[in-house]
Each structure stands twice: as structure tokens, then as C-alpha cells.
A and B are shown apart, each in its own frame.
Chain A
């Protein structure tokens, strides 16, 4: 058990909440300097609780907490403002981002760069019309920041630079390789897609389609057996 520690005015976002005991909430937050944390918000489910309206996902907050165990005690949450509430498709995207973070980010592991990417992305979601490119860029940052290297610039076997016109199969944890047969069952991408991904460019339609399949494959690998509910709901919504 760590020492009892007090943290003040920490920037963070609520990722998810669930009921705890009779009137409290366990709040999963993504904080700038401490990463993903579990905080108990005592009495936050009482109708007149000051915390109730503030602990909303996709809103930048300043958080005070203390405690030494795995679950800390939330002392204060302050609304920073300046962020319109999400609605419509942008909200579905928000749920997808939060589900990725809840399921892939280990607790109490700081990821300043990922936090900055997330905060900037949440800010630009309202009014965004092309969600796919920004989601792909976030997925790539997430995988790299978590230490799941995503080599994109060199052939994993020959170490020669990627050629735009060539076709590559992608081996998890190793990278792109040429001369693979369909029986290997590897996700296939063109060299151009790999180069675009390495440069953070997701505008080309072909790059978008191929990078989506590749990133989905990698994310599913790291999720293991855990399903992504928000992805299933996208599909259900389209089917109804």
C-alpha cells in the first residue's frame, strides 16, 4: 500500500462511473499526471450532491483526492468549462475513446502525451464531421504510448525502408513483412498506408480503410477476450 497522499487541482476527465454502496460512486478518471485512477465520490448519488452534476464525462475537470489504497477518495471536483456537452455521433465516439482507455490503460500509470492527445480530441469533437481520421490517429497514439510498439517504417525482416508501392503483411509485435501468402492470415496493407500512418496522415480513403482494419486487429489482440461494447452498438444502430 502506498503512503497516504493528497493531490490537489489535478486536471482530468471522468471516463466512467458506477454506483458504489448506497449513495456513492466509483469514478474512473484519466488524470494528466497520474494516469487512470479510481476515486470514490462519497454521497455523489444523493439528489442534492454538489458532485453529481460535475462528474460528467467529456468535461475537463480539476480534481482533488487523497488516500493510499487502490481506490482514492475524491475530495473536490471543479468544472473547468469551455467544453460544450457532446451529443449525437460525437458522443458515440467519446464512448468509444473512453472504453478503449478503461480497458487498455493500466491504473496509476502516467501518460502525459496520451492525455494531451485525448484532451485535444475531446475539445475538437463538437462540430467534427470526419470522425474516422481522428479516431485512427488516437488509436495509434494509444498503442504506442502503452508500449505496444507499432513499427511502421521498416520491413521487419530485411530492415529496409518501406516502399510505397509494395504490399505488406503485418505481424503483431514485429511489424510489416513482404512476401506473405493469404494463408498466413495476416492483415494486409500497402506501403503507402504504412508511410501515411507513420506520418499521422489519415485522409486518403485507402489509407483510412486499411489502417482501420490494421488498428482494429492490433487493438483486439491487446484487449484479449474483452469485447468492445461501443463498437457493437455502432453496428446495432446501423442494423436497426
Chain B
């Protein structure tokens, strides 16, 4: 291996989030020196994934088919569309077994100061999905960060303008959580958003 091949590998590893030059170097040496079989597995898994995975035409998550199994499942309620930021959020929602509708995965969130807006998130694709004639309610399940909130607002406006019902998941003190051990911001917001019982 010429040094430039090694440099190219280190440079390539830096595309991983949070990986700087030092970590990239550590990873490269580790794979080449200690775990060549693991490295080969990674290389083939990566090229296979790049070859076969694509975005589901309906929910935008990764799938090997045009339409993923979840979207093709006739048992799910086509009137409800839940919008989440990432596939990992979708996985959490599914674990609740509390939602039987459909999903749309944004694959990101708005971040105006970083130049990530409606155009970069391709929100026109979501608009197309939500106006299929079957969706009645759009549930905004983006994160409760400023980025998640501005994304929810933007998506909400787009959906309302098209006559769809829009709702936002609620936030508050965690189930089984004690006030004493909950962060101040959550308690403050739970108080502001209190409801009559």
C-alpha cells in the first residue's frame, strides 16, 4: 500500500459524523492491522447498501424495494401520516405499538442558520405524499429542539394550507418520572402547556 492509498482511506473515513483526522487515522490502522476481515465485511456491506438501498417512494425511509413493507401493509391506517426526522425516530414510534398509521421520514430537520430549509429537505415530496387523497391528519413528531420545532411549524403550515388536519405530539414530564429528577426546561414547559382535567 502506498502512503497515498492510506491517506485516501483516512480521508474517506472522515465523512463519518464526528470523525476528525485523529479518529480516522485510528480507525484505518485498526482495520488494517487488527481486523482485516471486519474491514472486508464493512467494505462489502457498504457497497451492497449503496447498490440496493433507496428511499421508499411513499415514506422516504431506506428500503430495497420501491415501496417499503410498512407502506405496503394494508393493515395500517392510510388516513394518519406521522412525520419524523430520522429512521431512528420511526423505530422508536413503532416500539410504542401505539400508532397504526403511516409515516414520512424527513431524513433531517430544518436548520436555518446552516442553510437547511424547505428546499434542502425536499418538502415538496412530503406535500405530494400527504395530498394523496387518503391522508386526513398529519401528526408532527419532530424533536422538541428549536430545529425540530421550526420544522414542525413549516410542515404544519404546508399541510394546513392544503386542508389537512395537523397535530403535534405532546411533551411533558416522562412517564414514571419524578419532578425532582426532571430537567427544569421540561417542567417549565409542562407548566406552560398544562391542560384542564
Contacts from A to B (Cβ < 8 Å): 16, 18-19, 21-23, 45, 53-54, 56-59, 79, 81, 84-89, 91-92, 94-96, 98-99, 102, 229-230, 232-233, 236-237, 240
Contact = CB atoms under 8 A, between A and B. Distances in A.
A42 to B, nearest CB: 13
A86 B127 CA distance: 25
20 contacts: A18-B114, A21-B18, A53-B183, A53-B186, A54-B185, A56-B146, A57-B146, A79-B184, A85-B189, A86-B146, A86-B149, A88-B153, A91-B150, A96-B112, A98-B113, A102-B113, A229-B113, A229-B117, A233-B118, A237-B154
B153 A91 contact: yes
A45 B114 CA distance: 18
B150 A84 contact: no
B113 A22 contact: no
Nearest to B149: A87
Contact of B124 (A84, A229, A233, A240): A240
A19 B17 CA distance: 9
B112 A233 contact: yes
B185 A229 contact: no
Interface of B: 17-20, 23, 110, 112-115, 117-119, 123-124, 127, 144-146, 149-150, 152-154, 157-158, 183-186, 188-189, 192
Nearest to A98: B113
A19 B18 contact: yes
B153 A23 contact: no
Nearest to A88: B153
A102 B111 CA distance: 14
A97 to B, nearest CB: 11
By secondary structure, the A interface counts as mixed
Given A21-B18, A236-B118, A240-B124, A95 B185 contact: no
A47 to B, nearest CB: 12
A79 B185 CA distance: 8
Nearest to B126: A240
Contacts of B20: 21-22
A84 B153 contact: no
A81 B188 contact: yes
B184 A233 contact: no
Nearest to B117: A233
Contacts of B154: 237
A226 to B, nearest CB: 11
Contacts of A232: 117
A87 B152 CA distance: 9
B123 A240 contact: yes
A184 B99 CA distance: 62
A45 B144 CA distance: 16
Contacts of A23: 18
